């Protein structure tokens, strides 16, 4: 038996302790699985046999041999012949006991492992399951496979992952790395975001300026920084053909996105006549919602048709994504030419004009045997008859479209947005808040309850989106995507009745080992211990009562109090414990076999640390819930440091500050680029009145209109990082501190790295 064991700790906290019979460490969980009989040992002497002369089946068998060699260091030979005992056998059979082309049957008996499917896709997914059976835990060499009988096929036809290669550019090898992981998770659609305001990433031979100009931007700068080199890149048509073929070998369809009518600034920067104003803007270094739209004249329609011709030649996918999101209509409204075009077409509203333009492209795609898919904004002017809707602004767009008889894909923000942080931990890297946990991904249901049974048939599936504004490297992307891709995969593949969160957690240690074997930099946020205590009580009494937990409530948590590294022989966390200050607490969550589920976490308990709040521990002031965690450079190559900011209000709260004996405050800060386009939301940015030209950091008591305790002038030269320190008016008791930057909202954003309260004896002269 395997058990989920926070042991007494979970029971004492009122948390369920659930025991399950041993289940194969498979993700996603198959539709049907039964364990009976005796198992089979796979060794280097075990051949992989392709039953019959089937080139596709042989390619799949060779895939299994390759991935097993890389992750298990078990060398298996592929040969062609008839089924034989003592082998892993692949056989394509039109009478296979599964209903779909992606389905397969897999049986483990003393005679070997047998995989049967009607189509190559089913054989491939059977190979992925077989590989997981061969990697039940971290290890190398021979492996004993338990007896199992699987009949499996996916719940949804669209199991998607969207990669934004515009905001940050990934190399072709990095794209292949992500495709490999998609395949291992049985995902089958790579939605590739290739054009936007910040870059044009696809070579279009008829329009070379799109990549000569549109693929490169100048990163934002602050202060006296040297202007950096242009940032960007693009995929040649040969690159794209190779990636499409690579994905196809893994039964993944690549769906390209060419965004219209908005998110067009890089295209307009390349060919200004495509825009509304006729002026050439720069390729944007900013994130957010931009004003630049395509115009709707015949020349631009012809341009878009020509682009789609080359796109369709590169991508054989049935669907072509045409965006349609966040198209602010200000330029259309202000343009006499666009208004005249609307009048000629008998169109009275700009949203209807967008639908007309989208439908022109949809008809063009339809004439070439393709289908249009777009974000849910295409509903706003009346849904084009040819459209499929990808619903990102919640689920209502999918509900509305499905009720109108259109196919839909569920991809709502924030639930399935991978740039949402995985946790609220202070040691997280970049991303948006609120966080979307591993469990929240697992529990997402793609079929809205508002749909009838007939309407629900229009739900093609679900997709998670990896927007990369704040993910400049593959390591950032891997941290954001994994292991939430496991939860996505199971939600998209496995029948609802077969999904079980606690059992899923039991299967995760093996999956994390597979990631480590492939050097995938997954986030351990779900399993990393939180070390919690009442700081003010510890300051007052000299001792602290410490509680330890993790987000997933899974694993055996061990800890030390002397700064030594914890392990299986260290105390097992059962209930909160008390330590004298100072102390250094370290904690780690271990799987049942003693393998760490996450890196050890450390918390130093001394008076300076107890009086310090780091960036992730500071809260927003009242009035705005916007929270974003960023790095000092928009194109950072490291994972840290990070700063939690609110682009609408430069105000942070140090909650429950114990002020007895405090004489001063020290703030570690950074100067960050204000590279955000906010469109109509720009009016929501709060300006705080300054006393000097460059502004100050003002500290107030019990709210942003409270008594001023300190005013710390900001440096005029805007250095990348700096420290502010100054005396505070002495107070007693516990109060919230409001920290307000009064710098001009046309200048940089200031991020707070940490705030420390200083007693009189620790104030520097």
Please, what are the domains in the chain?
Answer: 1-18+523-602 (2.60.40), 32-152 (3.30.379.10), 162-469 (3.20.20.80), 612-762 (2.60.120.260)
Helix axes 484-493, 474-481, angle to 10 degrees: 50
Give the whole-angstrom CA distance, residue 95 versus residue 417.
40
Distances in Å between the Cα of 277 and the Cα atoms of 75, 282, 288, 305 are 62, 14, 20, 22
Distance of CA 207 to the CA centre of its chain: 32
Give the pLDDT confidence score for residue 764 in this predicted structure.
61
Distance of CA 291 to the CA centre of its chain: 26
**Strands, DSSP E only, in 522-576?**
530-532, 543-549, 556-560
Q: If you search the block for the tokens 């194109």, which residue do you land on?
A: 635
| Tokens, residue 308 | 């789609």
340: Cβ–Cβ under 8 A, 6 or more apart, which residues?
A: none
Give the whole-angstrom CA distance, residue 211 versus residue 260.
17
| Tokens, residue 658 | 């114990």
Give the whole-angstrom CA distance, residue 565 versus residue 600.
8
CB atoms within 10 A of CB 707: 12
Number of residues that this document lists for the chain: 765
270: Cβ–Cβ under 8 A, 6 or more apart, which residues?
A: 200, 207, 209, 210, 212, 213, 214
How many CA atoms are closer than 13 Å to the CA of 119, on its beta-carbon side? Answer: 10
CA torsion angle 758 760 763 765 (round to 10): 160
Give the whole-angstrom CA distance, residue 79 versus residue 89.
10
Q: Is 196 a catalytic residue?
A: yes
Give the whole-angstrom CA distance, residue 287 versus residue 742.
23
Residue 362 and residue 345 in contact, taking contact as beta carbons nearer than 8 Å: no
Give the whole-angstrom CA distance, residue 523 versus residue 3.
23
Kindly state the DSSP code that residue 208 receives in the 8-state scheme.
Answer: T
CA torsion angle 531 532 536 537 (round to 10): -100
CB atoms within 10 A of CB 721: 12
3-state class of 232 per DSSP?
Answer: strand
Smallest CA-to-CA distance from 699 within 648, 665, 656 is with: 665
Question: Exposed (0-12), middle (13-18) or buried (19+): which is 70, by Cβ within 10 Å?
Answer: exposed
Distances in Å between the Cα of 479 and the Cα atoms of 425, 483, 543, 619, 644 are 14, 8, 36, 24, 18
User: Which parts of 335-470 fold into alpha helices (H)?
Assistant: 336-345, 350-367, 396-403, 438-443, 453-456
Residue 172 and residue 162 in contact, taking contact as beta carbons nearer than 8 Å: no
Backbone angles phi, psi at 709, to 5 degrees: -100, -25
Give per-residue pLDDT as tens, 50-76. 988 889 999 999 999 999 999 999 999
Give the whole-angstrom CA distance, residue 276 versus residue 296.
9
Give the whole-angstrom CA distance, residue 372 versus residue 386.
6
Smallest CA-to-CA distance from 190 within 245, 264, 117 is with: 245
How many CA atoms are closer than 13 Å to the CA of 331, on its beta-carbon side? Answer: 23
Q: What is the mean pLDDT of each successive set of 10 residues along the chain, which is 765 residues long? A: 34 31 87 94 96 90 97 95 88 91 97 96 98 89 94 98 98 98 98 98 98 97 83 98 98 98 98 97 97 97 98 98 96 98 96 95 96 94 87 96 96 98 94 97 97 97 98 97 98 96 96 96 97 96 96 97 96 97 97 94 97 96 91 87 96 96 97 95 94 94 94 93 96 96 93 96 63
Give the whole-angstrom CA distance, residue 371 versus residue 378.
15
Residue 116 and residue 148 in contact, taking contact as beta carbons nearer than 8 Å: no
Kindly state the DSSP code that residue 167 receives in the 8-state scheme.
Answer: S
240: Cβ–Cβ under 8 A, 6 or more apart, which residues?
A: 202, 203, 314, 315
| Tokens, residue 719 | 């250095």
Give the whole-angstrom CA distance, residue 398 versus residue 158.
14
Give the pLDDT confidence score for residue 4 in this predicted structure.
35
Give the pLDDT confidence score for residue 624 in this predicted structure.
84
For residue 602, the cross-strand partners are 586
Q: Is 376 a catalytic residue?
A: no
pTM of the predicted structure, to 2 decimals: 0.95
Q: Is 532 a catalytic residue?
A: no
Kindly state the DSSP code that residue 761 receives in the 8-state scheme.
Answer: G
Helix%, strand%, coil% for the chain, nearest 5 = 25, 30, 45
Smallest CA-to-CA distance from 634 within 625, 648, 645 is with: 645
Q: Of the listed 93, 174, 326, 427, which one is catalytic?
A: 326
Q: If you search the block for the tokens 């450079």, which residue do you land on?
A: 633
| Tokens, residue 503 | 């059992």
Give the whole-angstrom CA distance, residue 353 versus residue 244.
33
Q: Of the listed 102, 119, 153, 196, which one is catalytic?
A: 196
CA angle 623, 626, 631 (to 5 degrees): 135
Helix axes 172-184, 237-249, angle to 10 degrees: 20
Residue 474 and residue 518 in contact, taking contact as beta carbons nearer than 8 Å: no
Give the whole-angstrom CA distance, residue 589 versus residue 527.
7
| Tokens, residue 370 | 């393709």
Q: Of the listed 263, 290, 406, 479, which one is catalytic?
A: 263
User: Which parts of 404-473 fold into alpha helices (H)?
Assistant: 438-443, 453-456
């Amino acid at each position: 038996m395997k058990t989920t064991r926070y042991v007494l700790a979970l029971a004492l906290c009122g948390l369920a302790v659930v025991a399950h019979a041993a289940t194969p460490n498979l993700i996603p969980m198959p539709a049907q699985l039964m364990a009976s009989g005796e198992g089979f040992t796979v060794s280097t002497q075990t051949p992989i046999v392709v039953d019959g002369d089937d080139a596709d089946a042989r390619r799949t068998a060779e895939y299994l041999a390759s991935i097993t060699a890389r992750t298990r260091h078990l060398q298996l030979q592929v040969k062609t012949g008839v089924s034989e005992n003592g082998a892993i056998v692949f056989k394509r059979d039109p009478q296979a006991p599964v209903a779909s082309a992606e389905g397969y049957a897999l049986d483990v008996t003393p005679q070997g492992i047998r995989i049967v499917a009607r189509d190559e896709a089913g054989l491939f997914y059977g190979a992925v399951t077989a590989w997981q059976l061969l990697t039940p835990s971290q290890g190398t060499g021979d492996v004993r496979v338990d007896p199992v009988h699987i009949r499996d096929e996916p719940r949804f036809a669209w199991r998607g992952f969207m990669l934004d290669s515009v905001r940050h550019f990934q190399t072709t090898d990095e794209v292949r790395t992500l495709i490999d992981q998609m395949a291992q998770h049985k995902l089958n659609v790579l939605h590739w975001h290739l054009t936007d305001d910040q870059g044009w990433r696809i070579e279009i031979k008829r329009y070379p300026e799109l990549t000569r100009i549109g693929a490169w931007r100048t990163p934002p700068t602050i202060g006296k920084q040297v202007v950096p080199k242009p940032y960007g890149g693009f995929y040649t048509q040969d690159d794209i053909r190779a990636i499409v073929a690579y994905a196809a070998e893994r039964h993944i369809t690549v769906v390209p996105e060419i965004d219209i009518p908005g998110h067009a600034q890089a295209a307009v920067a390349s060919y200004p006549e495509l825009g509304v104003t006729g002026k050439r803007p720069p390729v944007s270094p900013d994130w957010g919602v931009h004003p630049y739209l395509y115009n709707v004249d015949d020349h631009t329609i012809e341009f878009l048709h020509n682009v789609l011709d080359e796109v369709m030649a590169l991508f054989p996918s049935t669907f072509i994504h045409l965006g349609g999101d966040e198209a602010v209509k200000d330029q259309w409204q202000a343009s006499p030419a666009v208004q005249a075009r609307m009048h000629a077409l008998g169109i009275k509203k700009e949203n209807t004009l967008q639908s007309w333009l989208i439908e022109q492209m949809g008809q063009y795609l339809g004439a070439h045997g393709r289908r249009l898919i777009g974000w849910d904004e295409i509903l706003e002017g009346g849904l084009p008859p040819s459209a499929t809707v990808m619903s990102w602004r919640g689920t209502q767009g999918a509900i509305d479209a499905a009720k109108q008889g259109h196919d839909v894909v569920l991809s709502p923000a924030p639930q399935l947005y991978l740039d949402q942080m995985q946790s609220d931990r202070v040691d997280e890297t970049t991303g948006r808040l609120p966080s979307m946990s591993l469990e929240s991904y697992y529990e997402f249901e793609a079929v809205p309850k508002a749909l009838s049974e007939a309407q629900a048939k229009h739900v093609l599936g679900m997709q998670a989106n990896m927007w990369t504004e704040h993910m400049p490297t593959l390591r950032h992307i891997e941290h954001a995507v994994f292991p939430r891709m496991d939860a996505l995969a199971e939600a998209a593949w496995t029948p609802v009745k077969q999904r079980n969160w606690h059992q899923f957690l039991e299967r995760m240690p093996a999956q994390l080992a597979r990631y480590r074997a492939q050097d995938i930099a997954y986030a351990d946020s779900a399993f990393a211990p939180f070390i919690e205590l009442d700081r003010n009580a510890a300051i007052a009494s000299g001792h602290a009562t410490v509680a330890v937990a993790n987000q997933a409530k899974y694993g055996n948590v061990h800890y030390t109090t002397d700064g030594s590294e914890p392990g299986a022989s260290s105390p097992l966390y059962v209930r909160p414990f008390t330590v004298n200050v100072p102390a250094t607490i370290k904690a780690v969550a271990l799987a049942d076999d003693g393998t760490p589920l996450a890196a050890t976490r450390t918390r130093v308990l001394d008076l300076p640390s107890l009086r310090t709040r780091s960036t992730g521990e500071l809260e927003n002031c009242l009035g705005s819930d916007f929270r974003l965690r960023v790095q000092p450079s928009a194109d950072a190559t490291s994972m840290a440091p990070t700063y939690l900011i609110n682009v609408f209000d430069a105000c942070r709260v140090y909650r429950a500050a114990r002020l007895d004996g405090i004489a001063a405050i020290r703030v570690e800060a950074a100067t960050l680029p204000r590279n955000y386009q906010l469109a109509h939301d720009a009016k929501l940015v709060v300006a705080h009145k300054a006393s000097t030209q460059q502004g100050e950091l003002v500290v107030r008591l019990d709210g942003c209109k409270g008594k001023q305790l300190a005013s710390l002038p900001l440096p005029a030269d805007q250095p990348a990082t700096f420290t502010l320190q100054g005396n505070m008016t002495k107070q007693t008791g516990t109060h919230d501190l409001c920290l307000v930057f009064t710098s001009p909202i046309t200048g940089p954003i200031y991020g707070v790295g940490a705030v420390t309260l200083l007693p009189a004896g620790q104030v520097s002269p």
